[in-house]
């Protein structure tokens, strides 16, 4: 019953689960034997016919009759005769007819997850979606056979024996949009260095800190040769960080920057892909035009019109009415659409959604500079934050230091969440449970020992042991949660988690806020509010990949994922330096053990990225796979007309 009580904080589907579990009437049931047609009334007159001797349970309804201020309770049983009604089968819902598209021939209306800033300079946060929409291009892309590394802008490449340098020869004849000339190594190197926080400290690109973690300044030795200088080994550079479907950066025209300046580049996107930007209005719409010719493949659809539609209901309505031809949707919405004839498509991306237990910045020095980290998150004693620098702060129960006290709190929170109910109620069991941040149950290397039980009784015991008893109102302490509004999943999962956590006496409020407002505190390593947000480490990936660098001081100067942990740093460095995949996997399995023990990234659900399209508008869209990209390869769209 406790799971049903906690679930009242979820959406309407969960409330329905609770209603089913509840007793409608008071009193004990009475068993009688009925030999003739019997009709039982409980709340209103209804008939129930029994055609042979059966045993039924009759609950006695208590009817309260009130006259003035005198209350009289009368128990009533009512028998009513009514003609027999033959049972009928429940009809199957009729399939809706697919709408005709409202788009003119040669145009498709697309609803992505949002229309990000249309910025053409990386230091000012040019979005990765420019790659996914085929406006800018990268060194590598996934192959049609599903393998992740195929040459794109790179014609060939070679890595030094010690892994400290890669030399890449660029493809010749690749033209920038708008007559800005041929792509050269100088364009590529400028775009990369403009992204990297090591070479451009003012860069606020989403991967500024990620490139700072392993790259020094890149060089162009001639018009076609790029030299990448690694300050740390990075085995994922071809699959993720310089990959069209990965977590990379846009390659833009240095000539345009030199002649027009940074302000102009913030308003104009000059890439090399099969589509060019005709118009881009942030959070509203964008228009992409297919190039007449492209060095690789000319797109069949002349115009893509991107529309920003925040509400899921409005997205579905646009698809069903023919006003939109394709839309990114929550996974729970795909089933009803495909049953009605719409088609679904995915890159195979899956991302876990954890509760990031912010403020646990445990590294004492910055790994690259040796300077003290000077964490400010320990000024106040916060229940979920362990202080390794002052473990005995005077308010810990006997035999428990501050690190163990906070660990017990985090474990209590982890055990309070019913992941199966969240999956069922919010996503129709189309998601996967997510237990330990960074590690997914769909992988063959998953170990069931990392599962977290749903056990609110033990969770309460852990909080008592940690020295946080309930007060006379049942409250232990306050804990807000950020639910970033960049994705509806973040806010709805935050609401669900808050409902479970509140049952522990932890007064949990959800702050629904734009990620851009909180980002400075993540770059500055000052956030102490637990947050529902995925980071790169929460993407599904092979167990022999480097994972977790954003949870270390390696990415200082750029985004940090709420925590900095010495054990994660040590693992990242060992995995990056190891050439043997089996050894890399061994190190990461030890990391999974550690994260399970510490509960610093409390997993909730893992969501596949899916979208749906109208086959009356799109005949097919064979997206290439993408570990990071929610959609790829619009040049592969085959229009239906």
Backbone dihedral region of 456: left (phi > 0), alpha (psi from -120 to 50 degrees) or beta? Answer: alpha
Q: Which one, of 597, 214, 580, lies nearest residue 410 by Cα? A: 597
d(CA 617, CA 559): 39
What is the spatial distance between Cα 244 and Cα 152, in angstroms, rounded to a whole number?
Answer: 9
pLDDT value for 296: 96
Query: What pLDDT score was predicted for residue 93?
Result: 55
User: H or E element: which one contains 170?
Assistant: strand 165-170
pLDDT digits (tens, 9 = 90+) for 267-304: 999 999 999 999 999 999 999 999 999 999 999 999 99
What pLDDT is attached to residue 7? 40
- Identify the pLDDT of residue 118: 93
What is residue 95's predicted lDDT score, i.e. its pLDDT?
Answer: 64
| CATH domain 351-608 topology | Dipeptide-binding Protein; domain 3 (3.10.105)
CB 591 within 8 A of CB 552: no
**Identical topology for domains 107-347+611-639 and 351-608:** no
Mean pLDDT per segment of 10 residues, for the chain of length 641 residues?
40 38 37 37 40 42 43 42 44 73 98 93 95 97 85 96 94 98 99 97 92 93 98 84 93 98 97 98 96 97 97 96 96 92 93 97 94 89 96 89 98 99 92 95 94 98 98 98 90 97 98 92 95 90 90 92 98 90 95 99 95 98 88 97 90
Alpha helices in 466-580, H assignment, sequence order: 488-502, 515-523, 566-577
Residues of the chain with pLDDT > 70, as a percent, come to 85
- Phi and psi angles of residue 31, each rounded to the nearest 5 degrees, phi first: -95, 125
CB-based burial of residue 1 (10 Å sphere; 0-12 exposed, 13-18 middle, 19+ buried)? exposed
Which two three-digit tokens encode residue 105?
A: 């021939």
Q: Which residues, at least 6 apart from 318, have a Cβ–Cβ distance to it below 8 Å?
A: 109, 111, 307, 309, 324, 327
pTM beyond 0.95, yes or no: no
CB 611 within 8 A of CB 330: no
Which residue, chain included where needed, has tokens 């019997």?
38
Residue found under tokens 């089968």? 89
Which CATH number does 107-347+611-639 carry? 3.40.190.10
How many helices (H) and strands (E) are present in the chain, helices listed first?
A: 16, 27
Query: CB-based burial of residue 255 (10 Å sphere; 0-12 exposed, 13-18 middle, 19+ buried)?
Result: middle
Burial bucket for residue 261 (CB in 10 Å: 0-12, 13-18, 19+): exposed
Mark residue 467 as left, alpha or beta (left: phi above 0; alpha: psi -120 to 50; beta: remaining): left
Q: At what angle do helices 402-416 and 488-502 cross, to 10 degrees?
A: 110
Residue with tokens 């659809």: 301
Kindly report the CA angle at 498 between 435 and 419, in degrees rounded to 5?
30
- Classified as helix, coil or strand, 169 is strand
Residue 240 to residue 237: CA distance in whole angstroms = 6
**What phi-psi label fits residue 599: left (phi over 0), alpha (psi between -120 and 50 degrees) or beta?**
left
* Residue bearing tokens 């790179």: 154
The confidence score (pLDDT) of residue 627 equals 75
Mind listing the pLDDT tens digit for each residue in 410-461? 999 999 999 999 999 999 898 999 999 999 998 889 999 999 999 999 999 9
DSSP three-state, residue 111: strand
Region of 341 (left: φ > 0; alpha: ψ -120 to 50; beta: rest) is left
Domain parsing of the chain, residue ranges: 2-76, 107-347+611-639, 351-608
Q: Minimal CA–CA distance to 635: which of 324, 274, 283?
A: 274
pLDDT attached to residue 395 = 84
CA-nearest of 213, 178, 212 to 195 is 212
| 68, 145, 214, 631 from 149: Cα distances, Å | 82, 10, 20, 17
């Amino acid at each position: 019953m406790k799971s049903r009580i906690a679930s009242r904080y979820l959406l309407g589907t969960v409330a329905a689960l609770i209603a089913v579990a509840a007793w409608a009437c008071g009193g004990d049931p009475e068993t009688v034997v009925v030999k003739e047609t019997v009709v039982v009334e409980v709340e209103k007159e209804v008939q129930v016919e029994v055609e042979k001797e059966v045993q039924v349970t009759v609950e006695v309804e208590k009817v309260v009759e009130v006259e003035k201020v005198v209350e009289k309770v009368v128990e009533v049983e009512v028998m009513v005769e009514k003609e027999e009604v033959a049972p009928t089968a429940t009809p199957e819902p009729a399939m809706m007819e697919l709408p005709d598209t409202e788009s003119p021939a040669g145009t498709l209306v697309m609803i992505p997850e949002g229309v990000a800033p249309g910025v053409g300079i990386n230091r000012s946060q040019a979005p990765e979606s420019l790659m996914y929409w085929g406006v800018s291009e990268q060194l590598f892309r996934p192959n049609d056979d599903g393998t992740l590394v195929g040459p794109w802008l790179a014609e060939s490449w070679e890595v030094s024996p010690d892994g400290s340098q890669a030399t890449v020869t660029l493809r010749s004849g690749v033209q920038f949009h708008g007559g800005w000339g041929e792509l050269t190594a100088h364009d590529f190197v400028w775009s990369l260095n403009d992204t990297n926080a090591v070479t451009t400290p003012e860069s606020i690109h989403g991967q500024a800190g990620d490139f700072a973690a392993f790259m020094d300044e890149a060089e162009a030795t001639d018009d076609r040769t790029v030299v990448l200088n690694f300050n740390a080994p990075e085995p994922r550079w071809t699959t993720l960080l310089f990959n069209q479907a990965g977590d990379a950066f846009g390659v833009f025209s240095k000539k345009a920057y030199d002649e027009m300046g940074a302000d102009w580049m913030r308003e104009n996107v000059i890439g090399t892909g099969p589509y060019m930007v005709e118009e881009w209005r942030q959070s509203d719409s964008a228009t992409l035009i297919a190039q007449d010719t492209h060095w690789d493949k000319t797109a069949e659809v002349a115009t893509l019109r991107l529309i920003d539609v925040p509400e899921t209901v409005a997205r579905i309505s646009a698809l069903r009415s023919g006003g939109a031809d394709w839309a990114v949707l929550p996974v729970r919405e795909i089933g009803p659409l495909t049953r009605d004839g719409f088609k679904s498509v995915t890159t195979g991306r899956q991302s876990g959604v954890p509760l990031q237990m912010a403020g646990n910045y445990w590294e004492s020095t910055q790994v690259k500079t040796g300077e003290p980290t000077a964490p400010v998150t320990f000024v106040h004693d916060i229940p979920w934050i362990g202080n390794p620098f002052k473990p005995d702060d005077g308010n810990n129960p006997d035999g428990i230091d501050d690190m163990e006290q906070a660990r017990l709190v985090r474990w209590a929170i982890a055990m309070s969440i019913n992941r199966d109910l969240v999956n069922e109620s919010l996503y129709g069991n189309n998601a996967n449970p997510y237990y330990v941040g960074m590690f997914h149950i769909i992988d063959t290397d998953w170990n069931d020992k990392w599962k977290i039980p749903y056990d609110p009784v033990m969770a309460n015991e852990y909080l008592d042991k940690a020295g946080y008893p309930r007060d006379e109102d049942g409250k232990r302490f306050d804990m807000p949660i950020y639910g970033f509004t960049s994705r509806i999943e973040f806010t709805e999962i935050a609401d669900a988690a808050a409902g479970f956590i509140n049952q522990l006496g932890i007064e949990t409020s959800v702050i629904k806020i734009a990620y851009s407002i909180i980002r400075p505190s993540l770059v500055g390593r000052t956030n102490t509010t637990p947050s529902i947000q995925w980071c790169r480490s929460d993407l599904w990936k092979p167990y022999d990949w480097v994972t977790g660098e954003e949870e270390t001081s390696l990415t200082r100067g750029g985004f940090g994922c709420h925590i900095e942990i010495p054990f994660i740093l040590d693992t990242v460095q060992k995995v990056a330096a190891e050439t043997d995949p089996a050894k890399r996997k061994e190190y990461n399995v030890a990391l999974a053990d550690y994260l399970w023990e510490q509960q610093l990234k409390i997993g909730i659900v893992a969501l596949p990225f899916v979208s749906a399209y109208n086959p009356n508008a799109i005949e097919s869209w064979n997206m290439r796979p993408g570990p990071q990209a929610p959609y790829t390869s619009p040049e592969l769209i085959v229009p239906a007309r």
